[in-house]
Structure 1
Amino acid sequence: MSKKNQDKPVKNSFFNCIEKNFDKAERFLSIEKGLLEQIKSCNAVYRMNFPVKIGKEIKVIEAYRVQHSHHKLPCKGGIRYSIKVNQDEIMTLSALMTYKCAIVDVPFGGAKGGIKIDPQAVSEEDIEKITRRYTSELIKKNFIGPGIDVPAPDYGTGEREMSWIFDTFLSVCPKDVDALACVTGKPVSQGGVRGRKEATGLGVFYGIRELCRMKEDMSSIGLDVGLVGKKIIIQGLGNVGYHAATFFHEAGAIIVALAEREGAIYNQKGLNVSDVILHLKKTGSILNFPGAKNIENTETALELECDILIPAALENVIHKNNANRIKAKIIGEAANGPITPEADEILEKKGIIVVPDIYLNAGGVTVSYFEWLKNLSHVRYGRMEKRFSENMNAELLQVIETVCKNKIPKEEKKIILKGPNEIDLVRSGLEDTMISGFHKILDIKKSSKIENLRTSAFVLAINKIVDSYEKLGIFP
């Protein structure tokens, strides 16, 4: 069943929370009301029900693909597998994708997909059946393709599912020379890009690191410049939370608490993330980690003393009932929508700096863009420049040694001579994107005298989308 332009979600829904943030940005914009309504609305909602034989029974699977905006094509967004998937959630996440892509200058419209299943309760064979059938349904309705709509991994999905999607698309469209670009997040052996797994967590790290370099902002909340020694709490040890925690730890920050569904662990002297993960794999839980204190209620961990709080799990974990108890000075939204609009206002009054999700967790889509470009160009990153860079560096070193009449140590020479690999180029591109995006948001905040980074980020995103419409000549 296909259904477009459905009725607006009920008040106080997840989608409505995003609209509230959008409406706050309107006060700082000189844009026609009708165009703002167009940008806010979801362009296409595809709700489907299809039968799949699971075991000896035929079960009807509920699934969605939402294309929020067509101001740029293809649309782009992940596919999540969760028993909690619903239309409101997918519409909201697709809207967030539109704004994320605009902020980090990725030329996509926002989209999102979801299948209502519990991937932990379904066999690998049945997950493959469901994934392939879902892909077939998308192909039938023209909701997937390198220039139409490009899915990616999300909660409950990964490289395996993306491989099945690509294989199904290729079997139906064998003559499409760019078929590899129909989906991102694939294994490297199937056209994926190195650095994709850790991209969102690394993007979170780059964004927070850039904020912590701002002397004026750090002084306003009583912190020193830099990440070294800053106490961090991370909620959620999935792909995003784990990689973010690892990068913060390597940069000299102190991870004082980690929270998961079953509870949290705390050690004011710091937790070694790698050791916690080994303990988790061994015992099935982060609780009872040697040297750490158990905290039964995960939400309580959000209220502990720290400099930086990173919610990297679910939406709406910080709300009007607990916002007043948050002691962090910086909150980095690694998850989508972890703070409700009511909580946002409370946190702002407390002087807490919130780095918004529509910017901070855009690392994933940024590197997905790099993968998409790689697939369209049919050339891996580094293939053409690696040897050239190494040869140029060798010549420069020879000149330096000749002029200085001194030999450079072998180990140092090895580092200098090394040309960039694919992962080096991908991480460099991601770092540049996150730094550039942060400063654009900060510039708007200062020039428009906006109180917080979230509203500034929405203003930036909306202006970029309007600019795209004007270039298309749709709204002269």
Structure 2
Amino acid sequence: MAKSIDAAHSETSFFGDVCQFFDHAAQFTSHPEGLLDQIRSCNSVYRFRFPIRRGNGFEVIDAWRVEHSHHKSPTKGGIRYSEMVNEDEVMALAALMTYKCAIVNVPFGGAKGGIKINPKEYTVAELENITRRYTVELIKKNFIGPGIDVPAPDYGSGEREMSWIADTYQTMNPGQLDALGCVTGKPLALHGIAGRKEATGRGVAISIRECVSVAEDMQKLGLEAGLSGKRVIVQGMGNVGYYTIKYLTEFGATIVGICEFEGAIYSSEGFDLDEVFNHRKTTGSILGFSKAHKEFKNSSEGLEQECDILVPAALENQLTEHNVANIKAKIIAEAANGPTTPDAASALIERGCILIPDMYCNAGGVTVSYFEWLKNLSHVAFGRMDKRYEENANLNLVNTIEKSTGVTLDATQRSMIIKGASELELVNSGLEDTMIRSYHEIREIKMENSRIDSLRTAAFVSSINKVAVSYMNMGIWP
């Protein structure tokens, strides 16, 4: 199969790595090369620069917005605030968003944005100015809107920045009924959705739990099924890493290692998340934590310690050909985007490891963003219409059963049965169902074809087929 020009430089670029994974999976499909090239390529790449006033002078900011695929509308993807961001990275992340949305059956095309700054070096007022100006540039070129392109938080951005974006869009589109649907990840006060902040980490934990629940697969690794007692190392204590640790601990795993940019800590007995978090908040570092048996000033050494599951939840290219031989984990759960290079992935797969691919593993965020977008378009919170009806119906049922059987429930039992679902409970239910169904869909593709070597390849096959069907239904391909 001929490779695209984009894939030709795969060894030196993040987008090239994504294309390399794509081309490997494409051989297990039967789509024509022209259609594959359309799916692989970025449809729209918008690079722009804008000035901001800073002090007594001006500074010019580099920024991007990439819409990878228009097979579904709107496109969807976060905005990364980082001094390391570049066009290649934004293109790669946009492509992963396309495949991610397809895998978990969220009807969006993939997109991504980037602003080349270090947020820590700017005041709140300057960050607001940058964010609003970025939004204006997107509006001018029709790169944002509830039916066009819907940004979200990413590395370096959060609810605050999404609020500024929403306000700017509303200001420049007066009277647009669905204006708040132009961006997700907003605070609840601005019609965000319960559970969005923790959604990515929760989804990562659910994906890991689902993976280790398959006894047949765990037996091949020499492990027992289930999360109970599994030793986990997590890289990154940002939003994704924090909630991944929180929910993995609730599911029964033991967090034996935590890595951050300043170093890493390890304890075979496990860590309490809140104790480590409070220590870092107080001292500014995870190093020096009293309950750590080992600590490493080089964060990458923390990845190489004894564990069953390794969760890179920071940035791309953390597992490479240079350190893969030292990785001892049997399961790699890619909470970050692109943390494993193609060479490292091949080495791990040959070793018999399971890689839970990023475009499935961290899809919890976009799944709940989809729920927020639906909430904004419907203009009603989940559960608002039927919560009380459900509670009254359940109460009548309980009263009828008690009267007919003579059995009386205590207050706690009655409360559990009668209670109607809140928005948070409905969101978490939808997220869990999405992650569970998608994992087994991917695994089934892998199990049905002995030539498919990994869950990542199976995930790409799944997404390629779904995107291809969308293009065919548009009448572009017969």
Normalized against structure 1, the TM-score is what? 0.97
* One-letter amino acid of the counterpart of residue 469, structure 2: D
Q: What is the correspondence of 1:277-296 to structure 2 with a 5 Å cutoff?
A: 277-292=277-292, 293-296=294-297
SS at match of 2:106: coil
Q: After superposition, what is the alpha-carbon deviation per residue over 1:315-347, rounded to whole angstroms, capped at 9, x for unaligned?
A: 111111111111111110000011000001110
Shift of residue 11, structure 1, vs aligned partner: 4.1
Q: Is the 8 A contact 2:7 2:17 kept in 1?
A: no
Q: What is the correspondence of 1:24-43 to structure 2 with a 5 Å cutoff?
A: 24-43=24-43
Distance, in Å, in 1 between the alignment partners of 2:436 and 2:6 is 38
* One-letter amino acid of the counterpart of residue 467, structure 2: I
* 1:87 maps to 2:87: yes
SS at match of 2:287: coil
Q: Is the 8 A contact 1:9 1:15 kept in 2?
A: no
Q: After superposition, what is the alpha-carbon deviation per residue over 1:177-229, rounded to whole angstroms, capped at 9, x for unaligned?
A: 10010000001111100100000000001111111111111111111111111
Stretch of structure 1 that moved more, 44-53 or 414-423: 414-423
Q: Is the 8 A contact 1:144 1:182 kept in 2?
A: yes
Distance, in Å, in 2 between the alignment partners of 1:397 and 1:222 is 47
Q: After superposition, what is the alpha-carbon deviation per residue over 1:361-396, rounded to whole angstroms, capped at 9, x for unaligned?
A: 000000000000000000100101211211122122
SS at match of 1:309: strand
Distance, in Å, in 1 between the alignment partners of 2:437 and 2:404 is 38
Q: What is the correspondence of 1:116-195 to structure 2 with a 5 Å cutoff?
A: 116-195=116-195
Per the alignment, residue 454 of structure 1 pairs with: 456
* 1:51 maps to 2:58: no
* 1:439 maps to 2:436: no
Per the alignment, residue 230 of structure 1 pairs with: 230
Query: How many residue pairs end up in the alignment?
Result: 472
* One-letter amino acid of the counterpart of residue 298, structure 1: S
Per the alignment, residue 358 of structure 1 pairs with: 359
Per the alignment, residue 67 of structure 2 pairs with: 67
Shift of residue 403, structure 1, vs aligned partner: 3.5
Q: After superposition, what is the alpha-carbon deviation per residue over 1:27-59, rounded to whole angstroms, capped at 9, x for unaligned?
A: 210010000000000000000011110111111
Stretch of structure 1 that moved more, 137-146 or 385-394: 385-394
Shift of residue 400, structure 1, vs aligned partner: 2.7
Q: What is the correspondence of 1:206-245 to structure 2 with a 5 Å cutoff?
A: 206-245=206-245
Shift of residue 404, structure 1, vs aligned partner: 3.1
C-alpha spacing 1:114/1:6, structure 2 compared with 1 (3 Å): farther
Q: Is the 8 A contact 1:231 1:308 kept in 2?
A: yes
* One-letter amino acid of the counterpart of residue 80, structure 1: R
* One-letter amino acid of the counterpart of residue 469, structure 1: Y
Per the alignment, residue 396 of structure 2 pairs with: 395
* One-letter amino acid of the counterpart of residue 406, structure 1: V
Per the alignment, residue 301 of structure 1 pairs with: 302
Per the alignment, residue 267 of structure 1 pairs with: 267
Which runs of 5 or more residues in structure 1 are unaligned? none
* One-letter amino acid of the counterpart of residue 77, structure 2: G
Per the alignment, residue 114 of structure 1 pairs with: 114
Q: Is the 8 A contact 2:71 2:109 kept in 1?
A: yes
Shift of residue 153, structure 1, vs aligned partner: 0.4
C-alpha spacing 1:277/1:367, structure 2 compared with 1 (3 Å): same
SS at match of 1:120: helix
SS at match of 1:186: coil
Per the alignment, residue 467 of structure 1 pairs with: 469
Q: After superposition, what is the alpha-carbon deviation per residue over 1:94-118, rounded to whole angstroms, capped at 9, x for unaligned?
A: 0000000000011100000010011
Q: Is the 8 A contact 1:6 1:45 kept in 2?
A: no
SS at match of 1:50: strand
Distance, in Å, in 2 between the alignment partners of 1:235 and 1:170 is 38
Shift of residue 402, structure 1, vs aligned partner: 2.6
Per the alignment, residue 320 of structure 1 pairs with: 321
Distance, in Å, in 2 between the alignment partners of 1:327 and 1:227 is 18
Which runs of 5 or more residues in structure 2 are unaligned? none
Q: Is the 8 A contact 1:9 1:88 kept in 2?
A: no
State the Cα RMSD in Å.
1.3
Distance, in Å, in 2 between the alignment partners of 1:455 and 1:114 is 27
Shift of residue 465, structure 1, vs aligned partner: 0.2
C-alpha spacing 1:458/1:297, structure 2 compared with 1 (3 Å): same
Distance, in Å, in 1 between the alignment partners of 2:8 and 2:364 is 28
Shift of residue 9, structure 1, vs aligned partner: 8.0
Stretch of structure 1 that moved more, 466-475 or 113-122: 466-475
Q: Is the 8 A contact 1:232 1:310 kept in 2?
A: yes
SS at match of 1:367: helix
* One-letter amino acid of the counterpart of residue 430, structure 1: L
SS at match of 2:234: strand
Shift of residue 451, structure 1, vs aligned partner: 2.0
* One-letter amino acid of the counterpart of residue 455, structure 2: L
Per the alignment, residue 367 of structure 1 pairs with: 368
Distance, in Å, in 2 between the alignment partners of 1:132 and 1:307 is 44
SS at match of 2:119: coil
* One-letter amino acid of the counterpart of residue 82, structure 1: S
Per the alignment, residue 426 of structure 2 pairs with: 425
Distance, in Å, in 2 between the alignment partners of 1:61 and 1:26 is 38
Q: Is the 8 A contact 1:9 1:16 kept in 2?
A: yes
Stretch of structure 1 that moved more, 398-407 or 279-288: 398-407
* 1:252 maps to 2:252: yes
Q: What is the correspondence of 1:97-108 to structure 2 with a 5 Å cutoff?
A: 97-108=97-108
Distance, in Å, in 2 between the alignment partners of 1:8 and 1:169 is 36
Distance, in Å, in 1 between the alignment partners of 2:54 and 2:71 is 39
Q: Is the 8 A contact 1:382 1:422 kept in 2?
A: yes
C-alpha spacing 1:120/1:326, structure 2 compared with 1 (3 Å): same
Q: Is the 8 A contact 1:233 1:255 kept in 2?
A: yes
Q: After superposition, what is the alpha-carbon deviation per residue over 1:213-266, rounded to whole angstroms, capped at 9, x for unaligned?
A: 111111111111111111100000000000000001112210001000010111
Shift of residue 6, structure 1, vs aligned partner: 11
